[in-house]
Amino acid sequence: MHVLYLIFVDPFMQMAHAPDLLVQTLWDGLVSGVLYALIALGFVLIFKASGVFNFAQGIMVVFAALTLVGLNEHGVPAYLALAITVVVMLVLAVAVERAILRPLVDQPEIILFMATFGLTYILIGMGELIFGGDPKVMISDQLRLPSGSYRINMLGGFVQLQKIDIAAAIIASIMVAGLGILFNRTRIGRALRAVADSHRAALSVGISLEQIWVIVWFAAGIVALATGIMWGARSNVSFALEIVALKALPVLILGGFTSIPGAIVGGLIIGVGEKLGEFYWGPLVGGGIESWFAYVIALVFLLFRPQGLFGERIIERL
Amino acid sequence: MFYREVGQFKTSYAADQALLPILQDRIGIAVILLVAFVVVPLTASNFALDSVLIPILVLSLAATGLNLLTGYTGLLSLGTGAFMGVGAFACYKLTTYFPNVNIVILVLCSGFFAAAIGTLFGLPSLRIKGFYLAVATLAAQFFLSWCFIRVPWLYNYNISASIEVPTKTMFGLAVTGPTASSITRYLIVLSIVTLLVLLAANLLRGRIGRTWMAVRDMDLAAELIGIKLYQTKLLAFAVSSFYCGVAGAMMVFFWLGNAESESFNINQSFLILFMVIIGGLGSLLGSFLGAALIWGLPIVLRAAPPYFGLHIRSATVDQSTFVILGVLIVFFLIVEPHGLARLWQIWKQKLRVWPFPY
């Protein structure tokens, strides 16, 4: 009985007693949710257009942020470094298409998945070789990112909102809106959706697969760069993000592998759920449940909707 | 010319369906076993046994386990490391509760605990498949890793939060712990691996293996011809986890000597998956080739620069190893997406037709 009380009643009592803490926890959850959502967004872009489950998305984030900070360390002005990093991501997209996707076209999914593992290793090694493996500080000031925080008095306490988090949320929304327009309103977007539906049919009506792949990998690279800047501004730029990036996977399950809104909503749900779980239910089992709670949320969810929140309905035929 | 089945007639169904129907295969396996059991222990150095052969054998067994699940049943799993951990911790608990039982029996028994846990985490496979399932098994990976740290009962409440392997003897020889010689441990590992792989090979050519492969090729069609999907998939999870669990227990008891939760983290799972894919999905031989390649390559890369008289900082070597490993993974996938095992098949065909390739 007592256990049931601890699980089902006590956490909610705590929430009711200290609503300001609840709001703070929710906000923290939303903020980390934005990060997960951005990483998931990169996954979805590539999965939609090339059917590749891109494991390297997490390391692309690190690589982009490292390039930016590393260039700045060598005396390149911040905005020029940003421009160069964008070019580097474009070069990476072209290189990936040439060296990995083109020779492996029409192979089973798992082989392409494995190839992105190879890419992960290459990027980790190159990043460490060129820029060193130590954590670096993001150049937030040079990029004129806002710092400091708002303190809002509410509900008998106060809630602290970091300005950088608000900026991250705004940038994320702009990026999603931009991608939405790109996908739904432009010629390239139509080609992208055609490729997502069927490679061969798209080829037969004259869409260049190579070009489309470069575009989506480049778009994913830009998303990675934005993620890297936002995340680097909150903590350091280090290879630790690789593990955080795995959190994008339950987000994908929740949102569906092919849905951009799904990635965003899924990211926010996972972020909030994880923080609430850690804060209110974590102490019951000794804490640290953040590492797996997201997966459990996703798993429970999968049992009811195997295709995710917004994913396309899975229809199987013989 | 060297590898001809011509003239080898079978006069009964049993002979036709034997594990190794071709004489050359039987000779080849016999030679390999002879080398492994007799020549290697007589000649190999302790370094070769401890850091090359024992790890490769242990990892091959884990790769075989994952191959049964991913290669033969088509269920992608990223929880291998955790299932190995379950085996290791189960074996450790068993040695504390039954200190007088033979260690080999305990190692094999710990596989059953891993099988039980594996089956539990295999339950979602009934509803989902593909990458969705892979993420579901990641839940197992992270949850179990967390348990290995947060449940002190598992490591007998010792302060270092790690498994310390007690010394066990068999026929008067120390087989585990710091006093056990490399050769003894090598022979035990080799015997267990041989036994289990033989079992797997027999499982795969029988009814169970065939139902697995039917499910892999198309699960809907398999269901229509009367294969019970639930049982088949769960059995695959159970058997696969059994192999991984035994591999994990062997890893701690016969190879590392001590272990903490770090040894069974997500990277271990990925490493085993590399071995299976590089070696060849759906091939037992591939599990061994993949393990040998993925484990051997970094050792060779580390040993190569000093051999050529180059002195490079060890950090640089490690980082270049990453790059080279990544490039090689991509290279192997492009050259032969079906893994090293397919290369061997192609080579076998060449041996068959040589010297007249038409």
- B19 part of a folded domain: no
- If one compares B134 and A291, the residue with the highest pLDDT of the two is B134
- B301 part of a folded domain: no
Query: Which tokens belong to A19?
Result: 């609503």
Encode pLDDT of A294-304 as tens digits: 888 888 877 77
Residue from the list A110, A118, A253 with its beta carbon closest to the beta carbon of B326: A118
Distance in Å, alpha carbon of B129 to nearest chain A alpha carbon: 9
- B299 part of a folded domain: no
Give me the percent of chain B exceeding a pLDDT of 90.
31
Quick one: closest CA in B to A317, which residue?
B220
Q: Judge whether residue B49 has pLDDT over 70.
A: yes
Query: Which tokens belong to B277?
Result: 């894919």
pLDDT grade for A314, boundaries at 50, 70 and 90: low
Quick one: closest CA in B to A253, which residue?
B132
CA A246 to chain centre: 9
Q: Does domain A2-304 have CATH number 2.40.230?
A: no
Number of domains in chain B: 1
Q: Residue B254: phi, psi to the nearest 5? A: -110, -10
**A44 burial class (0-12, 13-18, 19+ CB within 10 angstroms)?**
buried
**Cβ-contact A249, A53 below 8 angstroms:** no
Residue count of chain A, please give it.
318
Distance in Å, alpha carbon of A250 to nearest chain B alpha carbon: 7
Quick one: closest CA in A to B132, which residue?
A253
E-strand stretches of chain A: 149-154, 157-162
Query: Which tokens belong to B116?
Result: 């039980």
- Which residues of chain A make contact with B270, given a CB cutoff of 8 A? 117
Helix (H, G, I), strand (E, B) or coil at A159: strand
E-strand stretches of A143-221: 149-154, 157-162
Domain limits for position B227: 38-264
Residue count of chain B, please give it.
358
Residue entry with tokens 């991984």: B244
Q: Residue B235: phi, psi to the nearest 5? A: -65, -40
Residue from the list B142, B316, B323 with its beta carbon closest to the beta carbon of A292: B142
Most confident of A71-80, A96-105, A130-139: A96-105
Most confident of A133-147, A169-183, B232-246, B273-287: B232-246
Residue A168: its pLDDT value, please? 81
A95 touches chain B (CB under 8 A): no
Distance in Å, alpha carbon of B167 to nearest chain A alpha carbon: 33
Q: What is the ipTM of this complex?
A: 0.82
Q: Judge whether residue A11 has pLDDT over 80.
A: no
- Which residues of chain A make contact with B130, given a CB cutoff of 8 A? 109
Going by their DSSP bridges, the two strands B162-164 and A149-154 should be labelled as unpaired
Helix orientation angle between A19-50 and A260-276, rounded to the nearest 10 degrees: 150
**For chain A, domain boundaries:** 2-304
Helix (H, G, I), strand (E, B) or coil at B258: strand
**Cβ-contact B284, B339 below 8 angstroms:** no
pLDDT grade for A311, boundaries at 50, 70 and 90: low
H or E segment at B26? helix B23-34
Question: Which of B235, B236, B243, B259 lies closest to B176 in space, CA to CA?
Answer: B259
Whole-angstrom distance, CA of residue B249 vs CA of residue A44? 38
Q: Is the peptide bond before A108 cis (omega within 30 degrees of 0)?
A: no
DSSP letters of A287-314? S-THHHHHHHHHHHHHHH-TT-SSPPPP
Residue from the list B136, B218, B325 with its beta carbon closest to the beta carbon of A121: B325
Whole-angstrom distance, CA of residue B358 vs CA of residue B337? 25
A295 touches chain B (CB under 8 A): yes
**Cβ-contact A145, A78 below 8 angstroms:** no
Quick one: closest CA in A to B318, which residue?
A125
Residues contacting B335, CB < 8 A, separation 6+: none
Helix orientation angle between A209-234 and A19-50, rounded to the nearest 10 degrees: 160
- Which residues of chain A make contact with B316, given a CB cutoff of 8 A? 129
Helix (H, G, I), strand (E, B) or coil at B18: coil
Encode pLDDT of B70-126 as tens digits: 989 988 888 899 999 999 999 988 988 888 888 889 999 999 999 999 999 888 887
Query: Which tokens belong to B264?
Result: 């069974």
A104 touches chain B (CB under 8 A): yes
Q: Judge whether residue A150 has pLDDT over 90.
A: no
Q: Is the pTM of this model over 0.90?
A: no
Task: Give per-residue burial for B56-70: e unless 16+ CB within 10 Å, then b.
Answer: bbbbbbbbbbbbbbb
Interface of A with B in 252-291 (CB under 8 A): 252-253, 257, 285-286, 288-289, 291
CA distances from B13 to A233, B10, B72, B188, B271 (A): 70, 8, 25, 35, 40
A126 touches chain B (CB under 8 A): yes
Whole-angstrom distance, CA of residue B298 vs CA of residue B302? 6
Query: Which tokens belong to A288?
Result: 């640290």
Distance in Å, alpha carbon of B271 to nearest chain A alpha carbon: 10
